[in-house]
Structure 1
């Protein structure tokens, strides 16, 4: 009997345990949002557009300061905690925001589910794969550059967070813009990758904001965040 009761108790605890990040389910995917049919094709590797963008990257590579490099390296982390930690301060604590945390795990997975398949099809080589003069300051990636996944996620997180805390909408969206710019500073993306990432993030946000499952998790996550921040 004790064994049965113990097993029942463990099952009950498991039912109420917060989902792990790796278990997070995206709100949508590439079957619903096909970026290949939405975005224009990327500039060809030997096009004038790509050559001009490489020149812009190399100019920034010379001009970037140690502070800019440090910021770009830190922004290599794809989480809402990196994205908004400086905006919201010490009250923005993952351990105290379980509903918000689980909700944004799904937001992060959504970006990957939509963008990664498009990157494989569009298959734009990264700047350092086209020119060995380009020296990225973040971990090298040979996945498709177009659109920028970091920028897509930053835009998506910005739009969702701004709906949760409209009092800081301007600061949040400025941070979303900056998060994408970090990829250019880092030398890992072209300017047009960043531009298309901002479009992609906006398209994803416009789609999932209308979904019932999104709304059902957004409301308690918003309430929890606003209470923690004192709004």
Structure 2
């Protein structure tokens, strides 16, 4: 069976952090001084719609609550995957830039997106990214919850994370929001493979928990938000026009007959049981 490293190389992954694995360390993390609302432009949705979507996100569980304790305990169980195949797949999923993110869906669609130019799909992903991330970042300004890698400075992250990144807000997960919105977009792009595309969107969210960048509840809230954002995106005429253009590009990609050589490794990683 192919090594997951083949998938990592094919997906142009960043190197894993060399931060050592350590036991939980007590840490008091407070909200950054600047938690101002981000500006929003360039997506499919208006600022008012983004605001409404962000406002609909429920608050995170209260500090010291049983729900928070259970969430942290589950997060700690994900430490067992550090350095393994699912961890390395999570490093791939951390790349969500519009130009490269389509490649996460290669195996779901049975194609190789890098085999032909896809500027219209990249532009579509860029707008989805701006809407999904914009809603998540706005929601984060309402209540600060620290990241697992912020609460425990010794916890490894599967990508290089600055001190500011460790201290940034965790709820809801912006990467989960974006990943799920991408998955919904790809499912509409190729309905015959819609279920598989949505599963990859979900797995991108799971990867953030594997990475120690978010708690399970952060990722779950991000998934709900991502679906809500995309539901509104899909209703816009601009998205429908871009979708038709992107379908033409997908047809050209499929016509090359190429597939991603890392798919066996991806299947193996996704088959691993999670806590």
Q: TM-score, normalised by structure 1?
A: 0.80
Residue matched to 1:125: 146
Q: How far is the alpha carbon of 1:134 from its aligned partner?
A: 3.6
2:182 to 139, 149, 157: 157
- Secondary structure of 1:46's counterpart equals coil
Give me the whole-angstrom Cα distance separating, in 1, the residues matched to 2:109 and 2:210: 24
2:170 to 142, 145, 152: 145
Matches within 5 A, 1:7-156: 25-28=42-45, 30-33=47-50, 34-64=52-82, 66-79=84-97, 80-88=101-109, 91-93=112-114, 96-132=117-153, 134-140=155-161, 141=165, 142-156=167-181
How many positions carry a matched residue from both structures? Answer: 208
2:231 to 195, 206, 215: 206
- Secondary structure of 2:68's counterpart equals helix
| Contact 2:103 2:112 (8 Å CA) reproduced | no
Change (3 A) 1:94 1:148: farther
CA RMSD of aligned residues (A): 2.3
Give me the whole-angstrom Cα distance separating, in 2, the residues matched to 1:205 and 1:36: 13
Give me the whole-angstrom Cα distance separating, in 1, the residues matched to 2:66 and 2:156: 21
Q: TM-score, normalised by structure 2?
A: 0.68
| Contact 1:83 1:175 (8 Å CA) reproduced | yes
| Contact 1:72 1:183 (8 Å CA) reproduced | yes
| 1:146-198 residue CA offsets vs partner (Å, 9 max, x unmatched) | 11111111111111111111111121111111111101111110111111111
Change (3 A) 1:117 1:94: farther
| 1:36-79 residue CA offsets vs partner (Å, 9 max, x unmatched) | 42121011232222221111111120245521221111211113
Residue matched to 1:8: none
- Secondary structure of 1:78's counterpart equals coil
Any stretches of 5+ residues in structure 2 without a counterpart? 1-40, 258-275
The structure with more radius of gyration: 1
